[in-house]
Amino acid sequence: MITQDFAVARRLTELPPYLFVEIDRKKREAAARGVDIINLGIGDPDIPTPASIIRALAKAAREPANHRYPESEGLDRFRQAVADWYQRRFGVVLSAQREVLTLIGAKEGIGHLPLAVVNPGDVVLIPDPAYPVYRAGTIFAGGEPYVMPLRQENGFLPDLDAIPASIRDRTRLMFINYPNNPTGAVASVDFYRQVVDFAARHNIIVAQDNTYSEICFEGYRPPSFLEAPGARDVGIEFHSLSKTFNMTGWRIGFAVGRAEVIEALRQVKSNLDSGAFQAVQEAGIAALALAESISARNSRIYQRRRDVLVRGLRKIGLEVESPRATFYVWPRVPKGFDSASFVTTLIERAGIVCTPGNGFGVEGEGYARFALTADVTRLREAMARLASSLN
């Protein structure tokens, strides 16, 4: 038998440690003991995909033309549906042919973007705490991540003036994400104007992740980055059908904005994937036609859950803001705990799973993320258990 030394590529060793392994182990151990687990960890909607979208998929799946390789940029009809929705929702007029690209979920596009625009050694500005794929995609492309701290005293917005000139001069790409995962913070068009000005002055491409814009509360409607004057000249925006339409497993999303960046991303995708299943794109067309009503229904459900969870956390004495958008709640952990020990305690004592804030970056230490992905009855049960476990 021939034995062979094996080592993974160096880029994998540069990724941050996967801090959820121990939590997953403890969750499995608790479940094996018969503990009733209330999982508020992963941002995966528990609300079913609307029936009309499922019917559209079933019809399209029976069409032989949809069984073949799709075009890498996506169906013309789907891209036009995206452009139509952007005009209705944000007042932004897009060219479906040049400024819209179909993705196999926003995560895929975010991960591939650095391969399209970043050269080895280029700096990429990454918020912290943040969705881990921004950093992972940067590392895979040979880029150098530079952290923009998101802190509560600044409304979890980055301080662009604090970025040193030596970093600005080497920066190729900047990721931003509002409404924000994990903090639930939101941004205004005025903030996006500042980002556009900063990017234009320093020749930086902006990538705004707008995945959560359609989960919003009490009349608040998050804007698009592309609403800011000049935004389309400096960057693109990612969007997904996953959270808006309860379609996380379907893997369908899109990028819109600056045509040159869209084309560069399309070139990467055409070499690395074979596009999104056309029947799913047809279902996406049906979803976007109903976006307003589905978003309103889902937001009402999540708002009620948010209120139950925020009241419960405050009653226990945790410091927490009530988010205006997203389905995440971001409390500070109690005194005497760090992020990991708090999450471990909840699993072991209460059978509640949430996510440690430091899993999203060093600035997340001292926080935990709760996802509103359980119904009101389960959330009330979770709050009762949480109160008992901390006494």
Contacts of 65 (CB under 8 A, 6+ apart): 278
pTM, two decimals, is 0.95
R_g (Cα) of the chain, nearest Å: 21
CA distances from 282 to 36, 156, 238, 250 (A): 39, 37, 19, 12
Contact 204, 148 (CB under 8 A): no
Residue 279: the pLDDT is 98
Please, what are the domains in the chain?
12-48+293-390 (3.90.1150.10), 51-290 (3.40.640.10)
Contact 214, 301 (CB under 8 A): no
- Supply 121's token pair: 């050694």
Residue 367: the pLDDT is 98
Type and span of the H or E element at 250: none
Pair type for strands 100-103 and 205-209? unpaired
Residue 20: the pLDDT is 65
Residue 320: the pLDDT is 98
Contact 150, 127 (CB under 8 A): yes
- Supply 350's token pair: 């209460």
Type and span of the H or E element at 125: strand 123-128
Residue 42: the pLDDT is 87
- Supply 324's token pair: 């205006």
* Total H helices, total E strands in the chain: 14, 12
Q: What is the DSSP string of 338-391?
A: -HHHHHHHIIIII-EE-EEGGGG-GGGTTBEEEE--S-HHHHHHHHHHHHHHH-
- Supply 92's token pair: 């932004």
Angle in degrees, 0-180, between the axes of helices 291-316 and 76-90, rounded to the nearest 10: 60
pLDDT in tens, the chain (391 residues): 677 888 889 888 888 776 666 777 888 888 888 889 999 998 999 999 999 999 999 999 999 999 999 988 999 999 999 999 999 999 999 999 999 999 999 999 999 999 999 999 999 999 999 999 999 999 999 999 999 999 999 999 999 999 999 999 999 999 999 999 999 999 999 999 999 999 999 999 999 999 999 999 999 999 999 999 999 999 999 999 999 999 999 999 999 999 999 999 999 999 999 999 999 999 999 999 999 999 999 999 999 999 999 999 999 999 999 999 999 999 999 999 999 999 999 999 999 999 999 999 999 999 999 999 999 999 999 999 999 988 7
Phi, psi of 53 (to 5 degrees): -70, -40
